[in-house]
Chain A
């Protein structure tokens, strides 16, 4: 199904590859290339200018934006024939004599680069504008970057940076003891804005063989393979064609007891895009070999396309050993729901339907492997190096210690890079061939083959009674988990715990169930099902408030979980439950907005226009870390004999900024400035297991471990210097000075014995958040702490055309403590962009939207103004009181937008995305009213 990539070298014309002469970043270049070879390839492969990224290779994402004679173009759409004699500028040309341009500095100072994969393209799009207009308007910025997609930032900080480029200045690193809480710039930021950061596709060895996966064009089929050896012989340069038989243990999966997904399908495929064969050879050959050439005989079988079919009596089984196609169900029960419903003053019944949603990180899956003796070394873009290590070892039947994972920079993850992608394939090929083997997914391949957000059907009943108190909640959530388990069990478990929302509900019954279908595997995606569930509980809150005649914010405030309350799992919240504080912070703006909206709509009715405004509110809570499972992290801080201070950080930074905050935390715990830290990130041979970058856990769990590691090193230093706990440290080359009042001791580090890493002292910290298992009724302590948030959204709806524009979002988040407020804002703004996408435009249809043009994610122009309010209700377990914010940003957004649309129009949509035709249909169905 994946067409051979035109990205192969020497792809097209056969009229000889004459030299194309052009100027790159002011210097002449001559490259032998066919006139139809695309500029992006030439820049990356011939000239080594890998700052130009390839996100889609189809002109849809803008990651490869360069300037051609000063104007922005997509290098992936520019044939070399058009480049002849012209001037090309890339991100590498922005830095002059090693000094960052003002625009690059502004990107750093404003936190405009998160994962950084879109940053080079974004910088070039902005450069085009800034050369024409030094001080552009916001509208001009939106237009200039309108074709360059970012999935991390929500664009807010990018826009701010471009607007401020003319006046931007550098930012000083925070002084000793003041790193936590500082708006410190990213420790890995310069590489991201300079285009030198190395992602999965950027540092592949020149002698690497290439691997291309042949994938199923069918959702459900049996297949037989013909004479593959004949194909191999007929195509010189094709080294091996790997099949299921070549995989030592052909099953992988997230859960230790569910290894149900084959690395290569074995005679049967269960979703369109499933891996069938792997072609290994020279890049030219494997990319140009068409699927049609391969002897695969398909026998199509009827697919199960959704949960209704999967649950139907007598339905065929997607996996033979899964009766009823049920993967997993979970639930929480407390109190007497029926009695509470019977005695209720108001009952809201809600039915929610959500589609597949694609992560759409701008960096497709990429990596390479090599065999080193009896070990495998895999360089790959990932969110979870240690799990990758163990999974590859399991597939290869090697010991985990025989596998080394070296994470590259990760160009966005959002949960989608928690599952294996290229890892077992390149590992298998490199192991067998003894040569480095690389694989880069194409965009359609990335979209078809990898996991998605679980489509959900949720039926919810919420009840309230006298005093506007919530009394009962009855939620049944059914998820399409696709062909393989992936993270389905996590979703089925997490949702029932969160299903009542961040409220006190004494009587609760919730059920979450995940069913197999012949769809792409649903996996982890920012929120693990909670964003879908929040659409239901927030629709119910609005409906109950309306029935009871009370303000929507006040109703939520009255019922908000507070310290001392008991959750539906029986857990008493002892600390850090700041929802009420979030709502109180929003209250004045909410009341103002209600007035403004009413005035706008009165005017609109009078003038008989068709625009209406509305304001909505969404609340959420989110358990930090894994559900009722141990999920420890270990961090180390080493003090080198040469005076280097190193954080050995196994927590992968996928753009959210954990590299930076781990150093902020460790620096303050140790008592040295963060600027003196060096980072070793993620390498499983050099860092301890910090667990997965998922479940919003790294700040809370690994941050605590970093704090403990910094404090441990400090203790060791103080002991060595025989100094008191308040002593001040200073590190100057290999001399450590410890000042304790009048006493100053100088320690010559070079004189001390060092470990193999060159460290004379190593501080170590481990933290595992305390949880307990859930019993049969879902009772227990599933999470050690919870994040809380409330967001309001103001929208303008065009009643006649069915279009919705989100004007403004105010986001109040209880994060415990903001270690780096700039990064926290960045997480919230980026989450809001994904929440807006979920509400208004994102809908993945297998086989129809496998590219970034038909699958829509928000552009800069779609984003509202965002105001963030940080509530710091400290969590004693967390580092300096911090919790997590990675996922919470997006959970309340879609409910707030849907509430705002309802406020504006009088119709409540619970099927997302609210595309114009759905809103029109809902408006037409509205009784007695045809706007």
Chain B
């Protein structure tokens, strides 16, 4: 492990004053919370900050449910959120996404904020033996575009990076139109989650809109007509403890056999959690007839670009949408 200074500030204000920045490989200081991802990144020399600022005990870990919706403190663990009765009953897609993530061990430690900020599983990013990775070393190139890219994104990509965002939780949250409360030295701001992660463009090393000295304080999920009938479908290569090949989070507001409103987001295919508004619009007012669903889901492929090994995802993600809607639609 690289040598760095560990700061253990007494309160959040002191932590923010270090101006650390998450999810940016060239930032000299970085925050650490549950650490399940950060410990691996440090150990593998992927992340080499000069200073690491611990958030242990400084962030809210409460889970609050009320008529306005859900508020998940950034320090709440994946395990606690996954089995919280209000989450299970009113926002099942969140619970399902969490229970299909990682391992029981990791879920007991990993936090909400850290989950949204976990780094990609792109093997070229995670192996410093490969010199070329724009996300790890800005300007160094991308080994994945012409490499083994079965795991990589097909939407939201650029010529500089095709790494997929690995979070299941974020996909569910984006479908529910969640937002994040950010806390910085200058105060607090609210950002819709869909705007929180940045597209790689030509700066794939900057993954979120977090400024230096800013942290996620909480996640808010608004109450909605769709959340209760929601579902997370994850296609993966083994039964547990594996990231998504393709996933779909859907939330439906049904009027008998008709879809009044639909929310759809995709995982495993995007450089960020990928909501598909055109699919949602096409679904609204329609039935659950498979042909109708397939036509709507086809709109998800607009702009998708395979790079060889991951071409199959473009079709598979449409099928995942159809299946997830069928499953959610069949629920009482």
Asked if A and B bind, the verdict is: yes
Cα–Cα, bound, A52→B233 (Å): 35
CB pair A801–B320 under 8 Å, yes or no, is yes
A128 in the interface, Cβ–Cβ < 8 Å? yes
Do the beta carbons of B316 and A73 come within 8 Å of each other? no
A interface, over-half SS: loop
Q: A3-B44, A36-B52, A82-B109 are in contact. List 20 more A-B contacts (CB 8 A).
A: A6-B43, A8-B1, A14-B3, A15-B8, A36-B1, A36-B6, A36-B39, A59-B36, A74-B36, A77-B106, A78-B109, A79-B35, A143-B99, A147-B102, A801-B320, A803-B235, A856-B242, A861-B239, A862-B239, A915-B237
With A801-B316, A847-B127, A859-B239: A57-B43 Cβ-Cβ less than 8 Å: yes
Tell me, yes or no, whether A4 is within 8 Å of chain B by CB.
yes
B187: Cβ under 8 A from any A Cβ: no
Q: In the complex, which residues of chain B have a beta carbon less than 8 angstroms from the beta carbon of A840?
A: 237-238
**A805 to B103 alpha-carbon distance, docked (Å):** 20
Most A C-beta atoms less than 10 A away, residue of B7, B35, B52, B108: B108
Chain B residues within an 8 Å CB radius of A610: 323
Query: Which positions 815-843 of chain A face chain B at CB distance < 8 Å?
Result: 840-841
Residues of A within 8 A of B240 (CB): 142-143, 146-147, 859-862
Q: From residue 148 to 163 of chain B, which have CB atoms closer than 8 A to chain A?
A: 148, 150
Contact A802 B316 (CB under 8 A): yes
A802 to B319, CA, bound (A): 10
Q: Does B332 contact A (CB under 8 A)?
A: no
With a CB–CB cut-off of 8 A, which chain A residues contact B290? 608
Residue of A nearest to B45 (CB): A3
Complex: A65 Cα to B241 Cα, angstroms: 15
Q: A801–B318 Cα gap in the complex (Å)?
A: 10
* Interface residues on chain A, number (Cβ under 8 Å): 69
With a cutoff of 8 Å between Cβ atoms, the chain A residues found around residue B319 in the complex are 800-801
Which residues from chain A contact B237 at a C-beta distance below 8 Å?
Answer: 840-841, 856, 915-916
Q: Check B105–A15 contact: CB distance below 8 A.
A: no
A523 touches B (CB below 8 Å): no
Q: How far is the CB of A15 from chain B (nearest CB, A)?
A: 6
A917 in contact with B106 given A35-B54, A856-B237, A859-B241 (CB within 8 Å):
no
Q: Does A854 contact B (CB under 8 A)?
A: yes
With contact pairs A14-B3, A146-B240 given, residues A58 and B316 touching in the complex (Cβ less than 8 Å): no
A382 to chain B, nearest CB (A): 28
Contact partner, A4, options B1, B102, B150, B312, Cβ 8 Å: B1
State which residues 284-320 of B face A: CB under 8 Å.
290, 312-313, 315-316, 319-320
CA distance in complex: A853, B54 (Å): 26
How long is the Cα–Cα vector from A687 to B319 in the complex, in angstroms? Answer: 61
Report which of B108, B129, B315 forms a contact with A71, defined as CB distance below 8 A. B108
CA distance A78 to B237 in the complex (A): 27
Contact across chains for A62 and B103 when beta carbons are under 8 A apart? yes
Other-chain contact of B36, A34, A65, A77 (Cβ < 8 Å): A77
Q: Is the CB of A917 within 8 A of B312?
A: yes
Q: Do A6 and B1 touch (CB < 8 A)?
A: yes
Q: Assess whether A72 is interfacial by the CB under 8 Å rule.
A: yes
Is A582 part of the binding interface, using a Cβ–Cβ cutoff of 8 Å?
no
* B123 is an interface residue with CB less than 8 A from chain A: yes
Interface status of A131 (Cβ within 8 A of chain B) = no
Q: Which residue of B lies closest to A1 (CB)?
A: B129
Nearest CB on B from A442, distance (A): 10
Among candidates B5, B45, B235, residue contacting A15 with C-beta atoms closer than 8 Å: B5
**Considering the complex of A and B, which 10 residue pairs feature the smallest CB-CB distances, nearest first?**
A147-B103, A861-B239, A13-B6, A146-B240, A6-B43, A917-B312, A6-B1, A862-B239, A71-B108, A74-B105
The answer, yes or no, to whether B189 is at the interface (CB within 8 Å) is no
CB-CB under 8 A from A854, the residues of chain B are: 121, 123
Cα A801 to Cα B324 in complex, Å, equals 11
The A-contacting residues of B in range 262-294, CB under 8 angstroms, are 290
**Cα separation A841 to B238 with both chains bound (whole Å):** 7
Task: Specify the chain A residue showing the minimal Cβ separation from B124.
Answer: A848
Please tell me if B85 contacts chain A, counting CB pairs below 8 Å. Answer: no
Give 8 pairs: A residue, B residue, CB < 8 Å, sorted on A: A4-B1, A15-B7, A59-B105, A74-B106, A82-B109, A862-B240, A917-B245, A921-B312
**Which of A15, A58, A849 touches B40 (beta carbons < 8 Å)?**
A58
B42 at the A interface (CB under 8 A): yes
The yes or no answer to A12 lying at the interface (CB within 8 A) is yes
Q: A82-B56, A856-B238 are in contact. Are A68 and B36 (CB under 8 A)?
A: no
Q: Which residues of B contact A841 (CB under 8 A)?
A: 237-238
Q: Are A800 and B323 in contact (CB under 8 A)?
A: yes
* Residue A845 is within 8 A (CB to CB) of chain B in the complex: yes
Chain A hits for B315, CB < 8 A: 920
- Whether B322 sits at the interface, judged by CB under 8 Å, is yes
Contacts of B323 in A (CB 8 A): 610, 800-801
- Per-residue 0/1 for A853-873: is the Cβ within 8 Å of any B Cβ (1 yes, 0 no)? 110101111100000000000
**Contacts A34-B6, A916-B235 given; does A146 touch B1 at CB 8 Å:** no
Q: Quick check: A3 and B43 within 8 Å, CB to CB? A: yes
In the bound complex, how far is the Cα of B236 from the Cα of A805, in angstroms?
12
Cα separation A848 to B149 with both chains bound (whole Å):
10
B104 contacts A by Cβ under 8 Å: yes
Closest beta carbon of chain A to B299's beta carbon, Å: 18
Which residues of chain B in 25-40 are interfacial with respect to chain A, using CB atoms and an 8 Å cutoff? Answer: 32, 34-36, 39-40
Set A3, A60, A77: member contacting B109, Cβ < 8 A: A77
In the bound complex, residues from chain B placing their C-beta under 8 Å from that of A802 are 235, 316
Chain B positions 213 through 225: 1 when the CB is less than 8 Å from some CB of chain A, otherwise 0: 0000000000000
Query: In the complex, are the beta carbons of A848 and B54 less than 8 A apart?
Result: no
A147-B106, A917-B312 known; A12-B1 Cβ under 8 A:
yes
A90 within 8 A of B: no
Cβ contacts under 8 Å, B59 to chain A:
none
Q: Does B173 contact A (CB under 8 A)?
A: no
Is residue A460 contacting chain B, with contact meaning CB distance below 8 A? no
Interface check B128, CB cutoff 8 A: yes
Contact A859 B42 (CB under 8 A): no
Residues of chain B within 8 A of A13, CB atoms compared: 4-6, 52
Contacts of A860 in B (CB 8 A): 239-240
Q: A58 near B6 (CB under 8 angstroms)?
A: no
Contacts of B45 in A (CB 8 A): 3, 290
Min C-beta distance of B32 to chain A, whole Å: 8
Contacts of B109 in A (CB 8 A): 68, 73-74, 77-78, 82
| CB of A457 closer than 8 Å to a CB of B | no
Measured CB to CB, the nearest residue on chain A to B3 is A14
Q: Is B193 an interface residue (CB 8 A)?
A: no
A283 within 8 A of B: no
Q: Which positions 189-246 of chain B face chain A at CB distance < 8 Å? A: 235, 237-242, 245
> Within 8 Å of chain B (Cβ to Cβ): is A181?
no
Taking CB as reference atom, which chain B residue is nearest A805? B239
* Contact across chains for B108 and A72 when beta carbons are under 8 A apart: yes
Contact present for A77 and B40 (CB under 8 Å): yes
Q: Does A125 contact B (CB under 8 A)?
A: yes
Q: A15-B6, A801-B323, A916-B245 are in contact. Are A77 and B35 (CB under 8 A)?
A: yes
If A81-B56, A848-B148 touch, whether A917 touches B108 (CB-CB below 8 Å) is no
Cβ of B79 under 8 Å from chain A:
yes
Across the interface, which residues of B come within 8 angstroms of A697, CB to CB? none
Closest residue of chain B to A801 (Cβ to Cβ) is B235
Decide if A68 touches B108 in the complex (CB within 8 Å): yes
Assess whether A217 is interfacial by the CB under 8 Å rule.
yes
Residues from chain A with a CB closer than 8 A to the CB of B108 are: 68, 71-73
Tell me whether A845 and B245 are in contact (CB under 8 A): no
Contacts of A631 in B (CB 8 A): none
Tell me, in angstroms, the Cα distance from A217 to B108 when the chains sit together: 35
Given the complex, which residues of A lie within 8 Å of B241, measured CB to CB? 60, 146-147, 859
The answer to the question of A144 belonging to the interface, with a C-beta cut-off of 8 Å to chain B, is yes
For the complex formed, measure the closest distance between the CB of B33 and the CB atoms of chain A, giving whole angstroms: 10
Find chain A residues with CB under 8 A from B4 CB.
12-13
Contact pick for A143, options B3, B34, B52, B104, CB 8 Å: B104
Q: Which residues of B contact A1 (CB under 8 A)?
A: 129
Which of A62, A916, A917 has the most CB atoms of chain B within a 10 A radius of its CB? A917
Q: How far is the CA of A103 from the CA of B189 in the complex (A)?
A: 50
Q: When the two chains form their complex, are residues A217 and B129 in contact, meaning their CB atoms are under 8 A apart?
A: yes
